[in-house]
Amino acid sequence: MKTLRVGIIGVGNIGTAHCGCIAGGRIKGMTLAALCDIDGEKREILAGKYHVPVFEDGDELIKSGLVDAVIVATPHRFHPHYCETALLNGIHVISEKPAGVNVSEVRRLNEVAEKSRAKFGIMFNQRTDGLFRKAKEIIEAGGIGEPKRLVWIVTNWYRTQNYYDSGSWRATWNGEGGGVLLNQAPHNIDLWQWLFGMPSRVRAFCGEGKYHRIAVEDDATIYAEYENGATAVFVTTTGEAPGTNRLEISGDRGKIVLEKSTLTYTSLMTPEREFCFTCDKGAALPPMTESSYIIPPGRDGHELILENFAAAVLENEPMTAPGTDGIRELSISNAAFLSSWTDSWVNLPMSESDCAEFDRILEEKRALEKAAEEAGNRGKAAEDRDVQGKGTGKEKYISRWNVKW
């Protein structure tokens, strides 16, 4: 096989982009062979434009014999089902991020992947960004030494109410299964663990419907601890303008700062721990050198991940973003939700009982939201939660949209 015949399941915003670059011949090793969407009008347009079979049902596309690989680009909730069906049928699969909503289902999915002859990858396209690759290269070469701290303020995911109103699945517990942590920040959370490793426990505070008329979180602060004593702080929101995107990673031999498309690396000539206990002055700093890197944006990251995936299948190249990393990224966000919901620490890897508790609370939220939607009130689940037992207050509802400092 020299070229993978690819099917795309879910042809919305990002599915259309994948479709365009494969059909346009920009992905070495891939040709467009079939499409699928549950939206009938969309199917008609797609059939007219791409001249490939268009399916209503993703399972049928997978079993059609027309494809060697599929890209799953539906809302997150359906990712595990289509990925698992593909893997069970020996069809290679690349899932859009996040790999799913619940760690428990993505763990199961990876067990299926392990037994399958087909390959499983995740669309963590930001891993191809030159600045993050440079950071990884410095860290892997020992450039920061023993890790001490990661701080990432990524508050430039600003979204308006109009965005949230643009699709009925958006920002709902039933449709997305979460907000900024599930939709916008998975790329950053993945890069956090890719560069700095997995923490051993997490404490988080999520603001649900804090800035928008939605039920899910649009604001989150995660504090995490590592086995070696290192810590991480991760702050994200869709409700702040202008936002910031600044990542700092420090260790006892140096520090990396990424901000405004520049990576600044400071290397300490003497490790800080050694300097601290050998320096004979009270407020001196270890001698250091500083270098800056500006790496112009290269080729689109989605295209690079698709091409890498084709090379992984066809030529056994190492995969840039293997499916197992979907568990790692999702574990941090599931743990953050659970920590916020239960007001407690959550250990990583998540225990079976913590996964079950996460699943239980999420189901409760889904039921509450469904009941509110049936009563014709999108976003009312958040209101109900706050108002319940505290009176009926319309004033309260309105005051929720004011920022309280």
Ligand X SMILES: NC(=O)c1ccc[n+]([C@@H]2O[C@H](COP(=O)([O-])OP(=O)(O)OC[C@H]3O[C@@H](n4cnc5c(N)ncnc54)[C@H](O)[C@@H]3O)[C@@H](O)[C@H]2O)c1
- Of 33-41, 289-297, 362-370, 391-399, the window that binds ligand X (rule: CB under 6 A) is 33-41
One-character DSSP codes across 46-115: HHHHH-S-EES-HHHHHHTSS-SEEEE-S-GGGHHHHHHHHHHTT-EEEEPSSS-S-HHHHHHHHHHHHH
Closest to 35 in 3D by CA, of 52, 48, 17, 20 = 52
CB of 185 to ligand X, least distance (A): 11
- Of 3-11, 210-218, 226-234, 386-394, the window that binds ligand X (rule: CB under 6 A) is 3-11
CA 166 and chain centroid, separation: 20
Nearer to ligand X, 30 or 257 (CB): 30
The answer to the question of residue 226 lying near ligand X (CB under 6 A) is no
CB of 58 to ligand X, least distance (A): 5
Q: Three-state SS for 387?
A: helix
Binding mask 289-328 for ligand X (x = CB under 6 A): ----------------------------------------
- Of 24-32, 34-42, 202-210, 356-364, the window that binds ligand X (rule: CB under 6 A) is 34-42
Which of 23, 33, 36, 86 is in the footprint of ligand X by CB under 6 A?
36
According to DSSP, the β-strands at 346-347 and 201-208 are antiparallel
For residue 93, give both structure tokens. Answer: 């699969």
Point out which residues pair with 212 in neighbouring strands.
none
How far is it, in rounded angstroms, from Cα 102 to Cα 93?
19
8 A C-beta contact, residue 396 and residue 390:
yes
The answer to the question of residue 101 lying near ligand X (CB under 6 A) is no
Closest residue to ligand X, based on beta-carbon distance: 12
CB of 279 to ligand X, least distance (A): 46
How far is it, in rounded angstroms, from Cα 161 to Cα 154?
19
Nearer to ligand X, 76 or 380 (CB): 76
Which of 39, 227, 317, 364 is in the footprint of ligand X by CB under 6 A?
39
Write the Ramachandran bin of 323: left for phi over 0, alpha for psi from -120 to 50, otherwise beta: alpha
Nearer to ligand X, 10 or 29 (CB): 10
What is residue 68's DSSP assignment?
S
Binding mask 40-79 for ligand X (x = CB under 6 A): --x---------------x--------------xxxx-x-
Q: Dihedral, CA atoms, 337, 245, 121, 27, nearest 10 degrees?
A: 150
8 A C-beta contact, residue 327 and residue 83:
no
Among positions 139-168, residues that touch ligand X (CB under 6 A) are 167
Nearer to ligand X, 56 or 290 (CB): 56
For residue 182, give both structure tokens. Answer: 């599930």
Nearer to ligand X, 182 or 257 (CB): 182
Nearer to ligand X, 58 or 143 (CB): 58
For residue 336, give both structure tokens. Answer: 């953050």
- Of 11-19, 149-157, 254-262, 325-333, the window that binds ligand X (rule: CB under 6 A) is 11-19
- State how far the alpha carbon of 219 is from the alpha carbons of 164, 212, 315, in Å: 14, 10, 42
The answer to the question of residue 38 lying near ligand X (CB under 6 A) is yes
Among positions 110-129, residues that touch ligand X (CB under 6 A) are 123, 125
Which of 18, 97, 107, 210 is in the footprint of ligand X by CB under 6 A?
97
Which of 68, 84, 96, 240 is in the footprint of ligand X by CB under 6 A?
96
How far is it, in rounded angstroms, from Cα 208 to Cα 386?
10
8 A C-beta contact, residue 181 and residue 236:
yes
Give the footprint of ligand X on this chain (CB under 6 A): 9-15, 36-39, 42, 58, 73-76, 78, 96-97, 123, 125, 167, 183
